[in-house]
Chains A and B, each alone.
Chain A
Amino acid sequence: MTHYTSTEQKDTRSGFGAALLQLGRSNPDVVALCADLTGSLKMDAFAKEFPERFYQAGIAEANMIGVAAGLAIGGKIPFTGTFANFSTARVYDQIRQSIAYSNTNVKICASHAGITLGEDGATHQTMEDLGLMKMLPNLTVINPCDYNQTFAATLAIAEYKGPVYLRFGRPKVPNFMPADQVFEIGKAIMLSPGSDVTIIATGHMVWMAIQAGIILQEKGISAEIINIHTIKPLDTQAVLTSVKKTGCVVTAEEHLMNGGLGDSIAQLLALQLPAPMEMVAVDDKFGESATPEELMVKYGLDIPHIVEAALKAISRK
């Protein structure tokens, strides 16, 4: 196993906020909009330094999405910010028509995604957002794993011309990816090569996948760990190459089984390379109130479940 260390616990949303501020300084076309969650989205530094390029939209997300589309038509690079649920389900048709179908250069930036939003409960937790967004043609969907990767992803999507959904989260989590990484949209990252099972993780589950790999190594199993930050377009070559080598695969994500990364990979493998597969994801359930840590355990999004899934996948070879 390649060794990874987390120097500190940091929230991915802060990576977004810091990168947005840097973009404000480096790119005069970058503008930002927020629907009354500026502090939660860590957009306050940008808002303070660039008040003429920051639009407070109030609690009116549908309008915010439309205004962002118009700013993009006028040549700007708008970043919208609100919670993931209000960034997707609440404004689905606005995104569909004014952003995806119209192919406007809007960056939909969504915090508090997944069950790790925690205590606010199921009304605010979304585990459907990746599925909703990946179904829309033209939309690129990105789910980085830690502070550093979210920072790099935010810079990268400003350079990319086209609509993007960028998903990140609320809690402080291990920060282990290099600060100076080059973020390539659509390119999977090989974290640790292995030969017995492929573990593909995204978002907060990537660190857990690495920990699961260490446990599997102690059991004499060589796991290949892949970090997929771009849900769409999927790096199909990376997936096929790895599964051809290992012969089985586990996916891990903080999302419903329906519509998530595992669903995309299952589709790919069913069509091109059928192989035993296990999914660590939430099976058709809403979340509930509790701490993020408690919820990840209760909903099976933890290291033991990844280990168990890997053993099961191998046993099915």
Chain B
Amino acid sequence: MTTTTQMQALATQVRRDIVRMVHAVQSGHPGGSLGCAEFFTALYTSVLKHDPETFTMEGHGQDMFFLSNGHLSAVWYSLLARTGYFPVSELATFRRLNTRLQGHPTPAEHLPGVRVASGSLGQGLSVALGAALAKRLNNDPNLVYTLHGDGELQEGQIWEAAMFATGRRVDNIIATIDYNGKQIDGPVEVVMPLGDLRAKWEAFGWIVLEMDGHNLVEILTVLAEAKKLTGHGRPIVILMHTHMGQGVDFMVDKHQWHGSPPSDKDLESALSQLEETLGDY
């Protein structure tokens, strides 16, 4: 069992990985990744039933995770590497020629841990629902987890999937929304308001939970509660309140850091705020 102190140390190292990866190739999406460092850390160290050594596409006997907002690849790759899916040193190949660590995740390069391509938004919930139905057919009691951006909820397919999940009574799925209120062009409330997000999901028949995405104890508690609520005929969604760019003061809550790489000077400043807890790649 990983302690929350250990998890916090890992999350800090993951943040270092993120800014270093994006800086190295001067491309990528640091903001959302930084905001979800605690979530991924909790998920991969303490929530998912998984085994990097025996990863299979089918995922029989294990929980599955689908990243729908694929531009958060940096945080996912960091956690996959640091929990044993592939060597940590491979993070240095992020977005470079012949890498398995494509700009957006894909199974095409056979990277362990990735089951479907994502990046074109709005598709991951549907795919995860299919995987959840397969688990049901296989009498596999394990769960399917997903992560989505809040801006991503502007895609119509998300709501097709939301309707399908309740219509077909898929109750072995826990979806999480990275509710940071920011997207490329600005605040979500300006670009295209989501309105009462809780009411929207509830109207579609989902059980809605909320949590502070930067509080590891709360993340663990709410994910445990979500797990208890599975198997009762309804899908579960967690509105996870986060700050884009969390952990790097000049990036916090700035939508400009959705998809911009830090300069050399920015990197220096960012790394000075993030202790090298577990060793850089």
Contact = CB atoms under 8 A, between A and B. Distances in A.
A53 B126 contact: no
A101 B134 contact: no
Contact of B157 (A56, A78, A94): A94
B130 A57 contact: no
Contacts of B13: none
Contacts of A52: 137
B71 interface: no
B100 to A, nearest CB: 15
Nearest to A75: B58
Given A52-B137, A55-B133, A98-B123, A67 B164 contact: yes
Interface in A64-81: 64-76, 78
Given A102-B116, A104-B116, A73 B160 contact: no
Given A75-B58, A97-B123, A98-B116, A70 B130 contact: yes
Interface string B175-199: 0000000000000000000000000
Contact of B130 (A56, A67, A101): A67
B120 interface: yes
B132 interface: yes
B133 A67 contact: yes
Given A93-B120, A101-B117, A70 B168 contact: no
A6 interface: no
A70 B107 contact: no
B129 interface: yes
Contacts, number: 121
A62 B127 CA distance: 10
B128 interface: yes
B259 interface: no
B224 to A, nearest CB: 25
A136 to B, nearest CB: 13
Interface string B93-112: 00000000000001110000
A29 to B, nearest CB: 9
B134 A66 contact: no
A178 B116 CA distance: 39
A73 B168 contact: no
A31 B135 CA distance: 13
B130 A78 contact: yes
Interface in A35-61: 52-53, 55-58, 60
Given A63-B126, A97-B119, A58 B107 contact: no
B133 A74 contact: yes
B126 A67 contact: yes
A311 to B, nearest CB: 47
A74 B163 contact: no
Nearest to B56: A75
B157 A62 contact: yes
B245 interface: no
Nearest to A57: B164
Contacts of A96: 120
A103 B107 contact: yes
Interface bin, chain B: 35 or more
Nearest to B57: A73
A290 to B, nearest CB: 33
Contacts of B160: 58, 60, 62-63
Interface string A95-109: 011100111100000
Q: Which of B58, B123, B157, B168 has the most CB of A within 10 A?
A: B123
Contacts of B107: 102-103
Q: Which of A55, A60, A64, A78 has the most CB of B within 10 A?
A: A60
B143 interface: no
B137 A60 contact: no
A221 to B, nearest CB: 48
A65 B122 CA distance: 12
B201 to A, nearest CB: 16
B163 A58 contact: yes
B129 A74 contact: no
B149 interface: no
A70 B173 CA distance: 13
Contacts of A75: 57-58, 60, 134, 138
B138 A74 contact: yes
Contact of A70 (B127, B163, B167): B127
Given A52-B137, A71-B133, 14 more contacts: A58-B164, A63-B126, A63-B160, A63-B164, A66-B123, A67-B129, A69-B127, A70-B128, A70-B131, A71-B131, A74-B131, A94-B157, A97-B120, A98-B117
25 contacts: A52-B137, A55-B133, A57-B164, A58-B163, A60-B160, A62-B123, A62-B126, A62-B156, A64-B126, A65-B126, A66-B124, A66-B129, A70-B116, A70-B127, A70-B128, A71-B134, A73-B116, A74-B134, A75-B60, A76-B137, A97-B118, A97-B119, A101-B108, A102-B117, A103-B108
User: Would you list the 4 A-B pairs with minimal beta carbon distance, nearest first?
Assistant: A70-B130, A74-B134, A66-B126, A63-B160
Interface of B: 57-60, 66, 106-108, 115-120, 122-135, 137-138, 156-157, 160-161, 163-164, 167-168
